[in-house]
Structure 1
């Protein structure tokens, strides 16, 4: 099988639609691209660049920048700068912050319109013992039902989709074409710890001025459904607060200052049990609904339009796929599919990411720990704010006598919302429709990204996600990204690359 036939990643019926002049016009993005006849040349360049695109992902995975561990952060920023220059960005700079550095770049081709692109170069931590192949080797393996995939930390979150976007710029240049829009690229290395300093990057005067010229900002994505190839166009995302709650004998004034023998529990207080008692006050007894005083005061209920969109999405999205991907059999309260989707979009959450105290190794070790830590994330919906939620958490604990429990916030940001009628959302929908991709419009992503930095003042832009292709396992072992799809409904790397080309032309021409 030749590289061209093997690696396009596009389903056969879409490929054949490009063989005739009449159908060619139907599947080109916007009037500009339709008139230019460029699509075949760019596709040929993307196919020829497949091996280089794969290696770009693998090399990037091999350099893990992990903000939580302060691991290779400067190297990660330098590598991101090199990737941007290699893709054709003319102005590239490292942007210092009070934390880890970001990257800012522009590609000015003299086009009428500008488009903003958001990248992150950091990844989550990993334990190699949990992986089927080493998480930094980026091995290419056959995954039944999907095809050839790259397995590695950051494969889908976010290096695979981001590399596919860069591949689109490489393909345009290799085909002798310019990008149809000018680009502003803003990158950070702290997304996985809640983007605590990203606002410092965006608020720099020359970066803010560049962003204000843009039609909007997108983060590349690869979320096609394996069952029908469908995607969701999200009109926003939940906000997040990442924090630790810490109980200690030293701060409490009771219990031990260090671990002591567990026999002393008969006469010594336990910081670990104190933390457990504090945690139980934060949620209802089933653990599913926040119970912090005043937590729902600012929560905006779903609008009639949002409920309508969720109802339509429930008809198009596969409940079985969702449960299979999550490894769950039932939703909270055994909710039916549509009600589960409503809850996913509308409810703020308080989640325990991890509990750490005392000895956690093999066997037992009879200690009474002097310190206990709960790693917590709060997911926020409109019109909640990070500052208000942290203040309410602190007040809630204080009111119940837990003044000694430390609240250490590491990062976070507010929820984000984007107008359904903005050019950005309409361009996404137009591109997906033209490419034959089933699309659901959904009120907001249940996960979080720092889109609020773009949608709120002083930037004030539409922001969202766009992309074809598929991957899964973000934050988990065996994270993967499909590069050669055996599923006729899901694009491989070349198909994802061409999706970004289509989208950029759509942004250039949409009215």
Structure 2
């Protein structure tokens, strides 16, 4: 599921962020809800539960599970179990993996349709010194143009939206209303490191059986911009996260550890070797992948997909989008429309970080014995994670870098969901009932492990759904709006009712 004012830029949300400005919406309290049915009672219960719903988010933020640091792993899984049980799920348990455990729960409401819900209970690392408010205190702050918001690590990515989905179940329980769908809940604690063991959870026999009954599955999201409009994503790019490591020890040249930099005149540098290896992965401008065979399985965007991108770009605000990203030009000086088409359709190799030698204040004259480049590879249909890693390794070998290590930490394939699937139809119907403008988006440039659901053996539609607003995922000062001052953007009660609405819309599908 990162800090721009209203443009999340984490690996799940970048395309959406650049295409919605200018679209109009009218989110009104209770909009789309027939006052004679159960929704009115549910809304009253949701409003009464507001303080408890906000505290639920704050308490969850106070207990961060950070897989990359092995922080609070047992505690995080146990807390996820507590949240699921309190919301009414049965059969709640931890599912062990070769890494961090998952959590599953089920709700059999005797309904005809079953809805799958995906949660991640882990969050990104943080440096408290970079925050204006302590990242684990989840204080309520004023966000100009948005309203009151919870600020803390995980506020919008993804604990705020997920806890708001749970708030919908609490409101239905308080109103004495049985949800109109059955629900299968599947949670993981490793999404922020690329979900390396998530398939082990999803393919556990009883979990797999429950998932296969679902008409679709979504991750709760809060992606409304200032106009209130939302995107309905028909897919997401895949991702591979990895490190390339060059060392004197593996190379057989250069030092095994750091030595005095004066020795460079006589000794090879593993860090320069890493730089040269990186240069072979892309064209000289860094903009196009040059790994051997990289594009042979890439499925180009269809004309329908390109048209959807063009429509969104035409309705957008290019200058405001550039400002939100802190840029003045698109890649290769492309037009806004062409840049957005490229964003949806192009696979990438990105350097997340470079680490070697001394990086503290001042200088330290060393010749490092080891250099590390942290990369992410974004994949489009019909690429796969395994193919990408295999081709990267073969390319480095062919270019004369067999000693450069490729250490994969996680990742997953791209995902695609049919426009006429039950999940997408229910999402569009729910947004329409709420008076929210929704625009079909062919592919999210960010990534999430939806391929676990869309590919065999699960093979169900998967996507994102939700109202509300937040930003700053992966960045300092992450926040989630709970009391909106923008009438077109949902606060926590309206966002809660959004999850109620999609349940009723899915239940009504033939």
Q: Which range, TM-score by smaller chain?
A: over 0.9
Distance 1:318 1:488, change over 3 A: farther
Residues in 1 aligned to 2:337 and 2:508: alpha-carbon distance in whole angstroms: 36
How far the C-alpha of 1:494 sits from its partner, in A, is 1.0
Query: What is residue 208 of structure 2 aligned with on the other side?
Result: 208
Residues in 1 aligned to 2:191 and 2:80: alpha-carbon distance in whole angstroms: 14
Residues in 2 aligned to 1:434 and 1:40: alpha-carbon distance in whole angstroms: 14
> Is residue 46–residue 168 contact of structure 1 (8 Å, CA) maintained in 2?
yes
- Note if 1:60 corresponds to 2:63: no
Query: What is residue 465 of structure 1 aligned with on the other side?
Result: 464
Query: What is residue 164 of structure 1 aligned with on the other side?
Result: 164
How far the C-alpha of 1:108 sits from its partner, in A, is 1.1
- After TM superposition, the structure 1 = structure 2 runs for residues 426-505 of structure 1, keeping only pairs within 5 Å, are 426-505=425-504
> Is residue 230–residue 317 contact of structure 1 (8 Å, CA) maintained in 2?
no
Deviates more, 1:331-340 or 1:247-256: 331-340
Query: What is residue 115 of structure 1 aligned with on the other side?
Result: 115
Alpha-carbon RMSD across the aligned residues, in angstroms, is 1.5
Residues in 1 aligned to 2:309 and 2:349: alpha-carbon distance in whole angstroms: 23
Distance 1:199 1:36, change over 3 A: farther
How far the C-alpha of 1:464 sits from its partner, in A, is 0.2
Distance 1:249 1:345, change over 3 A: same
Query: What is residue 96 of structure 1 aligned with on the other side?
Result: 96
Deviations 1:364-408 (A, max 9, x none): 111111110000000000000111111110111101110000000
How far the C-alpha of 1:320 sits from its partner, in A, is 3.7
SS of 1:461's equivalent in the other structure is coil
Per the normalisation by structure 1, the TM-score is: 0.93
Query: What is residue 265 of structure 1 aligned with on the other side?
Result: 264
> Is residue 12–residue 488 contact of structure 1 (8 Å, CA) maintained in 2?
no
> Is residue 419–residue 462 contact of structure 1 (8 Å, CA) maintained in 2?
yes
SS of 2:349's equivalent in the other structure is strand
Per the normalisation by structure 2, the TM-score is: 0.93
SS of 1:187's equivalent in the other structure is strand
Query: What is residue 236 of structure 2 aligned with on the other side?
Result: 237
Residues in 1 aligned to 2:264 and 2:146: alpha-carbon distance in whole angstroms: 54
- Note if 1:277 corresponds to 2:264: no
How far the C-alpha of 1:459 sits from its partner, in A, is 0.5
Residues in 1 aligned to 2:301 and 2:132: alpha-carbon distance in whole angstroms: 42
- After TM superposition, the structure 1 = structure 2 runs for residues 168-317 of structure 1, keeping only pairs within 5 Å, are 168-226=168-226, 228-317=227-316
How far the C-alpha of 1:486 sits from its partner, in A, is 1.1
SS of 2:215's equivalent in the other structure is strand
Query: What is residue 386 of structure 2 aligned with on the other side?
Result: 387
SS of 1:214's equivalent in the other structure is coil
Residues in 1 aligned to 2:156 and 2:360: alpha-carbon distance in whole angstroms: 31
Residues in 1 aligned to 2:318 and 2:468: alpha-carbon distance in whole angstroms: 20
How far the C-alpha of 1:481 sits from its partner, in A, is 0.7
Query: What is residue 6 of structure 1 aligned with on the other side?
Result: none
Residues in 2 aligned to 1:130 and 1:114: alpha-carbon distance in whole angstroms: 43
How far the C-alpha of 1:13 sits from its partner, in A, is 6.9
- Note if 1:363 corresponds to 2:362: yes
- After TM superposition, the structure 1 = structure 2 runs for residues 396-435 of structure 1, keeping only pairs within 5 Å, are 396-435=395-434
How far the C-alpha of 1:326 sits from its partner, in A, is 2.1
How far the C-alpha of 1:434 sits from its partner, in A, is 1.5
Which sections of structure 2, spanning at least 5 residues, go unmatched?
1-23
Query: What is residue 5 of structure 1 aligned with on the other side?
Result: none
Query: What is residue 31 of structure 1 aligned with on the other side?
Result: none
Deviations 1:215-261 (A, max 9, x none): 011000000112x1111101010000000000001000011101111
Aligned residues: 487
How far the C-alpha of 1:129 sits from its partner, in A, is 1.2
Distance 1:503 1:320, change over 3 A: farther
Which sections of structure 1, spanning at least 5 residues, go unmatched?
1-10, 19-23, 29-33
> Is residue 116–residue 215 contact of structure 2 (8 Å, CA) maintained in 1?
yes
Residues in 1 aligned to 2:311 and 2:35: alpha-carbon distance in whole angstroms: 35
Deviates more, 1:314-323 or 1:345-354: 314-323
How far the C-alpha of 1:201 sits from its partner, in A, is 0.5
How far the C-alpha of 1:127 sits from its partner, in A, is 1.1
> Is residue 66–residue 125 contact of structure 1 (8 Å, CA) maintained in 2?
yes
Residues in 1 aligned to 2:142 and 2:334: alpha-carbon distance in whole angstroms: 36
Query: What is residue 8 of structure 1 aligned with on the other side?
Result: none
Residues in 2 aligned to 1:164 and 1:323: alpha-carbon distance in whole angstroms: 31
Residues in 1 aligned to 2:235 and 2:53: alpha-carbon distance in whole angstroms: 30
Residues in 2 aligned to 1:360 and 1:13: alpha-carbon distance in whole angstroms: 50
> Is residue 27–residue 436 contact of structure 2 (8 Å, CA) maintained in 1?
no
> Is residue 117–residue 183 contact of structure 2 (8 Å, CA) maintained in 1?
yes
Residues in 2 aligned to 1:86 and 1:322: alpha-carbon distance in whole angstroms: 41
How far the C-alpha of 1:142 sits from its partner, in A, is 0.4
Residues in 2 aligned to 1:422 and 1:193: alpha-carbon distance in whole angstroms: 30
Distance 1:389 1:13, change over 3 A: closer
Deviations 1:176-206 (A, max 9, x none): 1011111000000000111010000011111
Residues in 2 aligned to 1:12 and 1:221: alpha-carbon distance in whole angstroms: 17
